[in-house]
């Protein structure tokens, strides 16, 4: 575990009374983090087309991707509420409670892999999961294809999005279109991004919070433009949190790799827009951002942050809220006589 911060940690003073030098801090922050891009134009080297994004937007809000015709992607990743559902663990098919908190989809395209345990390589692979998961949308690829093929407007939209293919309406292309839409869910121009670009300032408390975030070592795991989402670490490197926050039944990445050292290992959560996405952690058991920060201090760094430090870091994290995507509600095609009925 590389918990040192490449020699940069020592560059900034960390005492609460110090007023950090904004210019030096900006320079350091630019090397450690970086701005959220205004747009993402390709995935896996393939260009994303407007027709794919348009189709993906319809599918994102499409409740008929679920067996019940009740749940859409947006049910659990509401774009109006930070791309998450703001409940401890998601409610899916038949009011079943899932095992984990819903992570935000905002800026998810920037993560190295998807899910708390990184078990899906990218957004395309990820999108096939919830549609089939029995506690989420509880559907099957065949039933989804039958549903989409029953509506002429979808058949045309898939043909426009995936021209030249023999059978454009497929489960695979549903996933590709959803991924294309999700690449548009980036949130640039946060106050922090404006600070990085030299176009805006942070107040003294926020600067202190940024300085502490770097000096105390948070940055060792939460770095890059998305402030995390790039690598995996034990939750409880130094001190394992209580079973309320870290339930013993969810061993995280161990389920993916079957390697003993991956027990209770999770992807370092990306912290962009974190002020909008309570409750926190994969268990969704912590409602207060300050409390989540304090838990990170003791669990990951073996350091009891004092109240002022927690407050400064929390104030800083609030500057990571970016411009939220403006998405016009799509009008979805009506069901036809051949559309599978809700179950």
Out of 9, 221, 276, 320, name the contact with ligand HEM by CB under 6 A.
Answer: 221
Stretch touching ligand HEM by CB under 6 A, among 24-32, 42-50, 96-104, 147-155? 96-104
CB environment 131-141: b (16+ within 10 A), e (fewer): bbbebbbbbee
- Binding characters for ligand HEM, 45-64, by CB under 6 A (x = yes): --------------------
Identify which of 219, 246, 243, 248 has the alpha carbon closest to the alpha carbon of residue 231: 219
Stretch touching ligand HEM by CB under 6 A, among 22-30, 40-48, 73-81, 329-337? 73-81
Angle between helices 50-60 and 171-182 (to 10 degrees): 100
If one asks whether residue 202 binds ligand HEM (CB under 6 A), the answer comes out as no
If one asks whether residue 77 binds ligand HEM (CB under 6 A), the answer comes out as yes
Closer CB to ligand HEM, 142 or 198, in the complex = 142
Question: Could you tell me if 308 and 267 are in contact, meaning their C-beta atoms sit under 8 angstroms apart?
Answer: no
In the 8-state DSSP scheme, what is residue 119? -
Closer CB to ligand HEM, 25 or 293, in the complex = 293
In the numeric block, which tokens belong to residue 246? 């870290």
- Widest Cα–Cα separation across the chain: 70
Q: Where are the alpha helices (DSSP H) in 216-306?
A: 254-257, 289-301
Q: Which of residues 116-145 bind ligand HEM (CB under 6 A)?
A: 116, 123, 126-127, 130-131, 136-137
If one asks whether residue 90 binds ligand HEM (CB under 6 A), the answer comes out as yes
If one asks whether residue 36 binds ligand HEM (CB under 6 A), the answer comes out as no
Whether 239 is catalytic:
no
Out of 20, 88, 168, 217, name the contact with ligand HEM by CB under 6 A.
Answer: 217
Stretch touching ligand HEM by CB under 6 A, among 13-21, 110-118, 192-200, 325-333? 110-118
In the numeric block, which tokens belong to residue 260? 């003993």
Question: Could you tell me if 138 and 154 are in contact, meaning their C-beta atoms sit under 8 angstroms apart?
Answer: no
Sign of the C-alpha dihedral computed for residues 30, 107, 99 and 90 taken in this order: positive
- Binding characters for ligand HEM, 277-296, by CB under 6 A (x = yes): x--xxx---------xx--x
Give how far the C-alpha of residue 96 lies from the chain's centroid of Cα atoms, to the nearest Å. Answer: 22
Binding residues for ligand HEM, rule CB under 6 A, total 52
Q: What are phi and psi of 64, to 5 degrees?
A: -75, 0
If one asks whether residue 300 binds ligand HEM (CB under 6 A), the answer comes out as yes
Question: Could you tell me if 178 and 73 are in contact, meaning their C-beta atoms sit under 8 angstroms apart?
Answer: yes
In the 8-state DSSP scheme, what is residue 242? P
Residue 210: enclosing H or E segment and its boundaries? Answer: helix 204-215
If one asks whether residue 192 binds ligand HEM (CB under 6 A), the answer comes out as no
Long-range contacts for 159-165 (Cβ within 8 Å, ≥24 apart)? Answer: 160/51, 160/55, 161/49, 161/51, 161/52, 161/54, 161/55, 162/52
If one asks whether residue 170 binds ligand HEM (CB under 6 A), the answer comes out as no
Out of 233, 262, 322, 333, name the contact with ligand HEM by CB under 6 A.
Answer: 233
What is the C-alpha separation between 144 and 155, in angstroms, rounded? Answer: 13
Closer CB to ligand HEM, 196 or 220, in the complex = 220
Residue 199 beta carbon to ligand HEM: minimum distance, rounded to whole angstroms:
25
| DSSP state string for 135-177 | TTT---HHHHHHHHHTSHHHHHHHHHHSTT-S----HHHHHHH
List the catalytic residue out of 62, 136, 179, 206: 136
**What amino acid positions are annotated as catalytic residues?**
136
Give the interface with ligand HEM as residue ranges (CB under 6 A).
65, 71, 73, 75-77, 90, 92, 98, 100, 102-103, 105, 108, 111, 114-116, 123, 126-127, 130-131, 136-137, 178, 213, 216-218, 220-222, 233, 235, 237, 266, 268-269, 271, 274, 277, 280-282, 292-293, 296-297, 300-301, 313
């Amino acid at each position: 575990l590389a918990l040192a911060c490449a020699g940069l940690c020592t560059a900034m003073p960390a005492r609460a009374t110090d007023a950090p030098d904004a210019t030096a801090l900006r320079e350091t922050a630019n090397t450690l983090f970086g701005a959220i891009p205004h747009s993402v134009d390709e995935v896996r080297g393939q260009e994303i087309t407007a027709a794919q994004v348009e189709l993906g937007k319809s599918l994102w809000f499409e409740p008929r991707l679920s067996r019940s015709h009740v749940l859409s992607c947006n049910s659990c990743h509401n774009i109006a509420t930070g791309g998450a559902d703001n409940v401890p663990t998601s409610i899916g098919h038949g009011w079943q409670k899932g095992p984990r908190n819903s992570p935000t989809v905002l800026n998810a395209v920037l993560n190295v892999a998807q899910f708390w345990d990184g078990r899906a390589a990218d957004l395309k692979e990820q999108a096939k999961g919830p549609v089939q998961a029995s506690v989420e949308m509880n559907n099957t690829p065949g039933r989804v294809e039958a549903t989409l093929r029953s509506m002429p407007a979808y058949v045309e939209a898939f043909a426009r999005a995936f021209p030249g293919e023999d059978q454009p309406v497929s489960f695979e292309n549903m996933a590709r279109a959803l991924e294309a839409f999700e690449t548009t869910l980036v949130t640039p121009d946060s106050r922090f991004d404006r600070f990085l670009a030299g176009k805006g300032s942070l107040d003294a408390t926020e600067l202190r919070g940024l300085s502490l975030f770097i000096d105390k070592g948070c940055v060792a795991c939460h770095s890059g433009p998305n402030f995390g989402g790039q690598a995996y670490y034990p939750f409880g490197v130094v001190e394992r949190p209580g079973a309320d926050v870290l339930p013993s039944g969810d061993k995280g990445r161990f389920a993916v790799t079957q390697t003993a050292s991956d027990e209770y290992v999770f992807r370092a959560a990306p912290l962009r827009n974190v002020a909008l996405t309570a409750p926190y952690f994969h268990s969704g058991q912590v409602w207060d951002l300050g409390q989540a920060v304090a838990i990170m201090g003791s669990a990951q760094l073996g350091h009891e942050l004092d109240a002022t430090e927690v407050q400064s870091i929390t104030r800083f994290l609030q500057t990571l809220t970016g411009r939220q995507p403006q998405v016009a509600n799509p009008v979805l095609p009506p069901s036809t006589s051949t559309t599978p009925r809700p179950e």
